[in-house]
Amino acid sequence: MQVKVGDKVSLNLRKRLFFFQGENGINLNENNTSATIPETMDERGLSQINRSLILGELIVGSIPEIPVVVPKDDDIIILMNKGKLAIDDFVYNLREDKVIKSEKKIEKFERMLELEKSNKNRKSVIAKIEFALSKIGGASQVMETDQEKIEIKLTSGTEEETTE
């Protein structure tokens, strides 16, 4: 579908968090998700919007408000009892979702890890969840462990120094 001046377009937050064209174009973000194409829009700007429509980054008209469903603890327990493929799909979709904040993703993944390690302890599922956690920016839970003291000897020429 081709858009023209005066049409309303909206940002698909599941695909993209911003869309900027500058002064004569439309500028969309999480707070401002819809705009009407202005009369000052040139052909280059319209072709950029049409390309984004094809890619699914923009939607013609207003987007319906779809509540983001983050499973509660009971839902995670049910999910963890399903097969590996269902868990892999959920982990991928949660990791790629741009609407859900990183803190919530980390919280859910850590709860999933805890449940998996205490129940079935499947190495492939644990590896998938840990991989997803490693790809999310932000703070994570800090775990302290006892470690062995390591002594390193540095030498420069004939002298020997010991550091700790």
Q: Please report whether residue 108 resides in a domain.
A: yes
Task: Flag the least confident range among 11-15, 23-27, 67-71.
Answer: 67-71
Answer yes or no: do 54 and 97 share one domain.
no
Answer yes or no: do 78 and 48 share one domain.
no
Phi and psi (nearest 5°) for 115?
-65, -40
Q: Please report whether residue 104 resides in a domain.
A: yes
Answer yes or no: do 43 and 86 share one domain.
no
Q: Please report whether residue 156 resides in a domain.
A: no
Answer yes or no: do 52 and 93 share one domain.
no
Q: Please report whether residue 157 resides in a domain.
A: no
pLDDT at 157 over 70: no
Q: Are 133 and 106 in contact (CB under 8 A)?
A: yes
Q: Determine the pLDDT at residue 62.
A: 81
**Which residues have C-beta within 8 Å of that of residue 63, sequence separation ≥ 6?**
10, 11, 12, 13, 33, 34
Q: Determine the pLDDT at residue 72.
A: 64
Answer yes or no: do 56 and 80 share one domain.
no
Calpha distance 26→3 (Å, rounded) = 13
Answer yes or no: do 33 and 80 share one domain.
no
Answer yes or no: do 77 and 129 share one domain.
yes
pTM score:
0.46
Per the structure, the complete domain to which residue 130 belongs is given by 73-134
Q: Please report whether residue 87 resides in a domain.
A: yes
Calpha distance 30→52 (Å, rounded) = 17
Answer yes or no: do 55 and 88 share one domain.
no
Count how many domains the chain has.
2
Q: What is the DSSP string of 50-91?
A: HHHHHHTSEEESPPP--------HHHHHHHHTS-HHHHHHHH
pLDDT, tens digit (0-9, with 9 covering 90-100), for 111-124: 889 888 888 888 99
Answer yes or no: do 47 and 84 share one domain.
no
pLDDT at 47 over 70: yes
- Burial class, 144, CB count within 10 angstroms (exposed 0-12 / middle 13-18 / buried 19+): exposed
Q: Are 47 and 128 in contact (CB under 8 A)?
A: no
